[in-house]
């Protein structure tokens, strides 16, 4: 009985949808014809969008109406150009956000997108003459009979923000260091969106791999780090050496230091801050917002793209700070021989009867001053990257650098100050005179150091999946037809290819569509073209060509993906004492000391 009622209800809903689709098609078709006849290109494109969204009449419209009209419209502006313009506009707005993400002193570790920033994106889209619904970027609007114009408008505005916010968060997740705070009621993680760039310090671990116990580094405000570094003492160093910060330019900031221990003196600590352009190094693992925008406009399935963003948020990038430690032991040894002579009187009955000067036993002396200078230069390395399409780990092992030893001995021949003292005359009776001979000075420099060397790299793991592989989690399906619940989840087994076969609800309708069975296949070339025009998306374009080949069997130009384009990069040094050889050159006076800036 229940099944019959459900079938009847389903038939009724389908009939209602069909009637509404037909009415909408008539209206949009009439508007399209009017806009073409009056030369309103933008209006014609908008009406074309509406017709393309009408699944019931899509085929008939394309063959009977849309194709000849698009030929006319394309003389002025193609739909492809519109998509490209929209993407460029959105990206330029995002790039202009001065405060899109700022890790200021009050940062709680979360990625927070301001409503004002989202509004800028929406306003720019609307200024082009489009509504969010035109671009399939409008979330579900739940209305009821009690809604007023004001409450309905508020719901529409909130629905307009849904996907823009989520797409922005997904981009920032793979650019932002992970800082997981602990609050009074427990751990705040999972209550907000947090960065997925994990930062560790090797701290002399022999191996850096999946089993190593490198020290997780914690975030510290930039102002606090500057204050502690300025102290130039052991306490300040211990406070900041296992912390990182973010400066005003968005660069990663970590401590590097030199400790000087000299015989007979208090220890000296010199701390400086190293600024690292880490975002450039990890850029190949970042999924820019435009990818999600283009994917939504082509697939016309925003919930499918929302699931893709959830996969992106499951990314993990690990940066490990590996110290190049250099220990320079300089010894200044001053050696000399003390000579003495004393005059003695011999008296008899109080009368001096003899005076004699005799030399004393020579005594050898050695005075040693040792200065040990330990310099720690941190070098960031990407040791692990896992994204929705790729996984790779790189292992490092601590290694002793070739030692450097130098010894130089100086005598009076090389240094006049080491000339022997002239022998003084005989002292008066009962007195002793002292002078030094055999003077020499020996300077030794012994430099040792440790660094980390990369072990042979492992192969890359393809994370894109295979046709028929897992989509959303099993408990996210409504039924065996792979219709997805509104509150779905993804996990480590979820793949892009699996999501293509999942049926997601189209917002503000009763329809469920699988992106792989509708527009992703027919619009694949459009997607590739849009991505090809965006410099930040060209590597991802190769991934998508490969994904669609695996899904359809059709050759889109990439039948085997060259994963080397995503190989983990090294950070390179612009300046600074990054190696033992450089350190030696510095102490030999053949290199000037400079501020260290690390980049790609």
CA dihedral sign of residues 293, 295, 301, 305: negative
Confidence of residue 236 (pLDDT cuts 50, 70, 90): very high
pLDDT digits (tens, 9 = 90+) for 481-495: 999 999 999 999 999
Identify whether the C-beta of residue 52 lies closer than 8 Å to the C-beta of residue 32.
no
Q: What is the mean pLDDT of residues 420-424?
A: 94
Mean pLDDT of the 348-372 span: 92
**Residue 430 and residue 434: Cα distance in Å, rounded?**
14
Q: What does the pLDDT look like over 150-205, one tens digit per residue?
A: 888 888 889 999 999 999 899 989 889 998 776 544 555 556 888 999 999 999 89
Smallest CA-to-CA distance from 473 within 502, 449, 510, 447 is with 502
- The pair of three-digit structure tokens given for residue 378, joined into one six-digit string: 């941190």
Q: What whole-number distance in Å separates Cα of residue 369 and Cα of residue 387?
A: 55
pLDDT at 286: 87
Task: Say which DSSP state 419 is in.
Answer: P
The Cα–Cα gap between 291 and 534 comes to 9
Other CB atoms closer than 10 Å to residue 384's CB: what's the count? Answer: 20
| Highest mean pLDDT (candidates 97-101, 283-287, 390-394) | 390-394
Phi–psi pair at 216, nearest 5 degrees: -65, 130
The pTM of the full predicted model, rounded to 2 decimals, is 0.78
Q: What is the overall mean pLDDT for the chain?
A: 82
Question: 45 by DSSP, 3-state: which?
Answer: helix
Query: Residue 251 half-sphere exposure, CB side, CA atoms within 13 Å?
Result: 14
CB within 8 Å of 143: residues ≥ 6 apart: 152, 155
Give 483-533 pLDDT, tens digit per residue.
999 999 999 999 999 999 999 999 999 999 999 999 999 889 989 988 998
Structure tokens at 121: 């994106």
Yes or no: say if 31 and 43 are a contact pair by the CB < 8 Å rule: yes
For residue 414, pLDDT over 50 is answered with yes
3-state percent breakdown (helix, strand, coil) of the chain, nearest 5: 40, 30, 35
Residue 563's closest CA among 540, 531, 587, 585?
540
Q: Look at residue 491 in the predicted model and tell me its pLDDT.
A: 95
291: pLDDT strictly greater than 90: yes
**Span 214-230, mean pLDDT?**
95
Name the region of 422 (left: φ>0; alpha: ψ -120 to 50; beta: rest). beta
Exposure of 336 by Cβ count < 10 A (0-12 exposed, 13-18 middle, 19+ buried)?
A: buried
Q: Which two tokens stand for residue 531?
A: 């991505």
Cα–Cα distance list, 201 to 217, 250, 322, 343, 369 (Å): 6, 20, 6, 69, 34
The 10 Å CB-count burial string (b at 16+, else e) for 186-218 is eebeeeebbbbbbbbbbeebebbbeebebeebe
Contact present, 24 and 54 (Cβ < 8 Å)? yes
CA distance 117 to 164: 10
d(CA 520, CA 509): 20
End-to-end alpha carbon distance in the chain: 67
356 vs 586, more confident: 356
Contact 414, 228 (CB under 8 A): no
pLDDT over 80 at 133, yes or no: yes
Q: Is the pLDDT of residue 443 over 80?
A: yes
Where exactly are the structural domains of the chain?
A: 1-77
Confidence band for 43, pLDDT divided at 50, 70 and 90: low
How many angstroms separate the CA atoms of 502 and 465, rounded?
14
Measured CA distances, 305 to 135, 159, 348, 492 (Å): 13, 16, 118, 17
Per-residue burial over 79-117, b if 16 or more Cβ lie within 10 Å, else e, is: beebbbebbebbbebbeebeebbebeeebebbbebeeeb
553 backbone dihedrals φ, ψ, rounded to 5°: 80, -5
- Higher-pLDDT residue of 34 and 309 is 309
Tell me if 506 sits within 8 A of 140, measured CB to CB.
Answer: no
Q: Which residue has the tokens 């009690």?
A: 146
pLDDT, tens digit, 9 for 90 and up, residues 73-105: 443 345 566 667 777 777 676 665 544 556 777
pLDDT given at position 350: 83
Q: Is 589 left (phi over 0), alpha (psi -120 to 50) or beta?
A: left
Task: Give the Cα separation of 449 and 403 in Å (integer).
Answer: 7
Q: Which residue has the tokens 């009867």?
A: 353
Q: Is the pLDDT of residue 20 over 70?
A: no
Judged against a pLDDT cut of 50, whether residue 395 lies above it is answered with yes
Dmax over Cα atoms in the chain, in whole Å? 148
How would you classify residue 260: left for phi > 0, otherwise alpha for psi between -120 and 50, otherwise beta? beta
In this prediction, residue 238 carries a pLDDT of 96
């Amino acid at each position: 009985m229940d099944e019959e009622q459900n079938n009847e209800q389903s038939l009724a809903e389908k009939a209602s949808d069909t009637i509404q689709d037909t009415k909408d098609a008539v209206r949009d078709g009439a508007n399209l014809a009017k806009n073409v006849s009056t030369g309103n290109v933008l209006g014609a494109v908008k009406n074309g969008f509406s017709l393309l969204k009408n699944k019931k009449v899509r085929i008939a419209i394309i063959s009977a109406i849309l194709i000849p009209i698009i030929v006319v419209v394309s003389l002025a502006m193609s739909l492809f150009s519109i998509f490209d313009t929209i993407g460029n506009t959105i990206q330029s707005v995002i790039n202009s956000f001065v405060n899109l993400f700022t890790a200021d002193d009050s940062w709680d570790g979360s990625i927070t997108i301001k409503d004002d920033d989202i509004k800028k994106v929406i306003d720019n889209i609307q200024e082009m003459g489009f509504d969010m619904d035109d671009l399939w970027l409008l979330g579900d609007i739940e209305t009821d009979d009690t809604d007023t114009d004001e409450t309905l408008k508020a719901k529409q505005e909130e629905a307009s923000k849904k996907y823009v916010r989520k797409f922005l968060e997904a981009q920032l997740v793979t650019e932002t260091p992970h800082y997981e705070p602990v609050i009074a009621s427990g751990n705040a993680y999972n209550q907000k969106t947090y960065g997925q760039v994990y930062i560790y310090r090797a701290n002399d671990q022999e191996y850096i791999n999946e089993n190593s116990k490198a020290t997780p580094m914690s975030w510290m405000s930039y102002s606090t780090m500057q204050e502690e570094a300025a102290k130039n003492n052991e306490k300040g160093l211990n406070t900041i050496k296992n912390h990182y910060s973010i400066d005003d330019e968005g660069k990663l900031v970590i401590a590097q230091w030199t400790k000087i221990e000299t015989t007979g003196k208090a220890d000296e600590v010199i701390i400086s801050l190293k600024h690292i352009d880490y975002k450039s190094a990890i850029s190949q693992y970042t999924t820019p917002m435009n990818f999600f925008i283009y994917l939504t406009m082509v697939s016309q399935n925003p919930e499918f793209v929302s699931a893709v963003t959830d996969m992106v948020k499951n990314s993990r990038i690990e940066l490990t700070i590996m110290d190049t430690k250099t220990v320079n032991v300089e010894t200044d040894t001053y050696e000399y021989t003390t000579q003495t002579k004393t005059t003695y009187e011999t008296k008899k009955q109080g009368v001096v009867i003899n005076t004699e000067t005799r030399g004393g036993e020579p005594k050898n002396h050695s005075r040693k001053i040792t200065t040990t200078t330990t310099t720690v230069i941190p070098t960031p390395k990407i040791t692990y990257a896992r994204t929705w399409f790729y996984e790779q780990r790189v292992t490092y092992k601590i290694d002793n650098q070739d030692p450097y030893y130098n010894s130089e001995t100086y005598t009076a021949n090389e240094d006049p100050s080491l000339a022997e003292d002239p022998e003084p005359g005989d002292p008066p009776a009962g007195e002793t005179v002292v002078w030094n001979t055999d003077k020499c000075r020996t300077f030794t420099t012994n430099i040792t150091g440790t660094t980390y060397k990369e072990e042979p790299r492992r192969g890359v793991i393809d994370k894109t999946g295979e046709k028929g592989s897992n989509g959303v989690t099993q408990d996210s399906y409504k039924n065996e037809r792979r219709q997805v619940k509104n509150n779905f989840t993804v996990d480590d087994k979820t793949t892009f290819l699996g999501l293509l076969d999942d049926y997601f609800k189209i917002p503000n309708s009763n329809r469920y569509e699988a992106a792989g069975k509708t527009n992703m296949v027919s619009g694949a070339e459009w997607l590739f073209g849009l991505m090809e025009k965006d410099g930040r998306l060209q590597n991802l374009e190769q991934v998508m060509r490969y994904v669609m080949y695996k899904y359809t069997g059709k050759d889109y130009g990439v039948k085997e993906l060259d994963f080397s384009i995503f190989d983990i990069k090294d950070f390179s040094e612009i300046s600074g004492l990054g190696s033992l050889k450089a350190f030696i050159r510095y102490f030999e006076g053949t290199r000037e000391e400079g501020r260290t800036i690390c980049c790609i």
